[in-house]
Amino acid sequence: MSSTEFSRRRKQLMRMMGENSIAILPTANEQVRNRDVLFPFRPDSDFFYLTGFSEPEAVMVLLPNRKQGEFLMFCREKDPVKETWDGYRAGLEGAMEQYGADDAFPFSDIDDILPGLLEQRERVFYEMGCNAAFDARMSEWVHQVRGRTRTGVHAPTEFLALDHFVHDMRLYKSRSEIATMRKAAKLSAAAHSELMRTTQPGDAEYQLASRFQHYCQMRGASQQAYPSIVGGGNNGCVLHYVENKDALNDGDLVLIDAGCELDCYASDITRTFPVNGTFSEPQAQLYQLVLDAQLAAIEQVQVGNHYNDPHEAAVRVLAKGLIKLGLLKGTLAQVLKSQSYKKFYMHSTGHWLGMDVHDVGDYKIDGHWRVLEPGMVLTVEPGLYIPVGSKGVAKKWQGIGIRIEDDVVVTKNGPDVLTRDVPKEIAEIEALMA
């Protein structure tokens, strides 16, 4: 992502904020894993979206039309000793020279400087409720400014949700964001294909997860967008199964929901395939039904359609098929009305995708499903889950969990499936595994 793009985003946000306003946005906190060991640091998505800055202990401040500078950064100072232990820091000069801040201050000085910046402004844009420790400091700074009103100081009068504005920007991906997401998607797709090629009965679920992550890490994606789900047989029916501890049985399916993160952008792919390389008859019947539902849903990812159209298309196909296979009783209209299909398909067909795997952006506006527009990216991921012990269900269907998930960009030319490289047709999968 070029520095011009980050600058363009800040300018766009400042235009929306208007005169006499201030935006204050801290990055994520470092998190202790145990004692003095930290989890790998990942910047806050909104913060990174607006700054491109990936160090911890940093706060972005925007002050539209401020003569002495509109974009301020609080960050860690350079420190040769600390840098020897923990690595490079951009420092105040780096924040200005590399990240385009008009001015930069030590993170440790923020309590002294921030109240003075608040004093000059009417409207405060802030993400309340995301960081309790920072909320308390904000509250203290505002309190300090109010305490000085008798000296003629004017305290801010309006507090607005910064996230509301930034999240709407993030919903529409730019050309370079889509390029990054395509790279992440292609890498994850290649890793899924590799699992299809290499999986054998007797492999442990965690070995597949490990091979997936290794494949991505060896090619530059150091982090996953979310914990990998690898569920063999009945484990595939647990939607967020992350224990990944069992061995894969000959004759079972395995469901793998895994995606790498690249430059802070997520990919999110699910594939389900037979551990031994060949679908049994009941597995093939249910798999083909989920695939038909997924293809029908992807077809609905069109400019001008509503967010929920893909879900409705998937549900229709699944409901019809479940009736035909004898898994649901009644007419299509009855099944859709009673939502009896939820016994086997209980989640929705997708979500926005971007820097966060379940990305930001409103799904409804004024109570109506959002209209799809170019640059939006969503997943399409119908499934069927029939756990062992399902009442009134023939044995042959039990222990089958299937989900097929792709990442799709809304474009004027129809759905652009970023993850199309990984096979999903039955014949393609069986051929790759043979």
Active site residue ranges: 36, 240, 257, 268, 347, 351, 358, 381, 385, 403, 405
**Residue 257 interacts with Mn ion (CB under 5 A)?**
yes
Strand segments (E) across 122-228: 123-126, 158-161, 223-224
Strand segments (E) across 196-279: 223-224, 229-232, 253-258, 260-262, 265-266, 269-274
**Residue 407 interacts with ligand GLY (CB under 6 A)?**
no
- Nearest-angstrom CA–CA distance, 312 and 371: 14
Rule CB under 5 A: choose which of 44, 177, 268, 359 binds Mn ion.
268
Find the shortest distance in angstroms from Cβ 381 to ligand GLY: 6
Which of 203/405 has CB closer to ligand GLY? 405
At residue 185, the 3 state secondary structure works out as: helix
Q: Which stretch binds Mn ion (CB under 5 A): 118-126, 127-135, 145-153, 267-275?
A: 267-275
Which of 261/381 has CB closer to ligand GLY? 381
Beta bridge partners of 106: 75
Find the shortest distance in angstroms from Cβ 351 to Mn ion: 6
Q: Which stretch binds Mn ion (CB under 5 A): 95-103, 183-191, 332-340, 402-410?
A: 402-410
Q: Which stretch binds Mn ion (CB under 5 A): 113-121, 144-152, 235-243, 252-260?
A: 252-260
Cα distances from 338 to residues 116, 196, 325, 386, 391, in angstroms, run 59, 37, 18, 19, 18
Residue 98, phi-psi category: left (phi > 0), alpha (psi -120 to 50), beta (remainder) = alpha
Draw the binding track, 339-358, toward ligand GLY (x: CB under 6 A; -: no contact). Answer: ------------x-----x-
Which of 224/379 has CB closer to Mn ion? 379
Strand segments (E) across 15-62: 21-26, 32-34, 37-38, 59-62
Find the shortest distance in angstroms from Cβ 193 to ligand GLY: 18
Q: Residue 283 binds which entry of ligand GLY, Mn ion, none, with Cβ cut-offs from 5 to 8 Å by kind?
A: none
Which of 55/381 has CB closer to ligand GLY? 381
Q: Which run of H or E residues covers position 403?
A: strand 400-403
Contact assessment for residue 273 and residue 253, using Cβ atoms and an 8 Å cutoff: yes
- Nearest-angstrom CA–CA distance, 154 and 156: 7
**Residue reference for tokens 């910064």:** 162
**Residue 268 interacts with ligand GLY (CB under 6 A)?**
yes
Find the shortest distance in angstroms from Cβ 4 to ligand GLY: 32
Q: Which stretch binds Mn ion (CB under 5 A): 37-45, 233-241, 330-338, 398-406?
A: 398-406
Mode of pairing for the β-strands spanning 71-75 and 103-106: parallel
Draw the binding track, 324-363, toward Mn ion (x: CB under 5 A; -: no contact). Answer: ----------------------------------------
Which of 296/378 has CB closer to ligand GLY? 378
Find the shortest distance in angstroms from Cβ 431 to ligand GLY: 26
* Proportion of the chain in helix, strand, coil states, percent, rounded to 5: 40, 20, 40
Question: Is residue 365 exposed (0-12), middle (13-18) or buried (19+ Cβ within 10 Å)?
Answer: exposed
- Nearest-angstrom CA–CA distance, 289 and 295: 10
Beta carbons within 8 Å of 227's beta carbon, 6+ residues apart: 242
Q: Which run of H or E residues covers position 249?
A: none
Rule CB under 6 A: choose which of 381, 386, 402, 419 binds ligand GLY.
381
- Nearest-angstrom CA–CA distance, 315 and 324: 14
Find the shortest distance in angstroms from Cβ 379 to ligand GLY: 6
Q: Residue 226 binds which entry of Mn ion, ligand GLY, none, with Cβ cut-offs from 5 to 8 Å by kind?
A: ligand GLY
**Residue 419 interacts with Mn ion (CB under 5 A)?**
no
Within residues 210-239, the interface with ligand GLY by CB under 6 A covers 226
Draw the binding track, 368-387, toward Mn ion (x: CB under 5 A; -: no contact). Answer: -----------x--------
Minimal CA–CA distance to 316: which of 301, 296, 346, 330? 296
Within residues 240-259, the interface with ligand GLY by CB under 6 A covers 257
Which of 7/348 has CB closer to ligand GLY? 348
Q: Tell me, what DSSP letter sits at residue 405?
A: B
Find the shortest distance in angstroms from Cβ 85 to Mn ion: 37
Which residues are near Mn ion by CB under 5 A?
257, 268, 379, 405
Residues of this chain that bind ligand GLY (CB under 6 A): 226, 257, 268, 351, 357, 381, 405
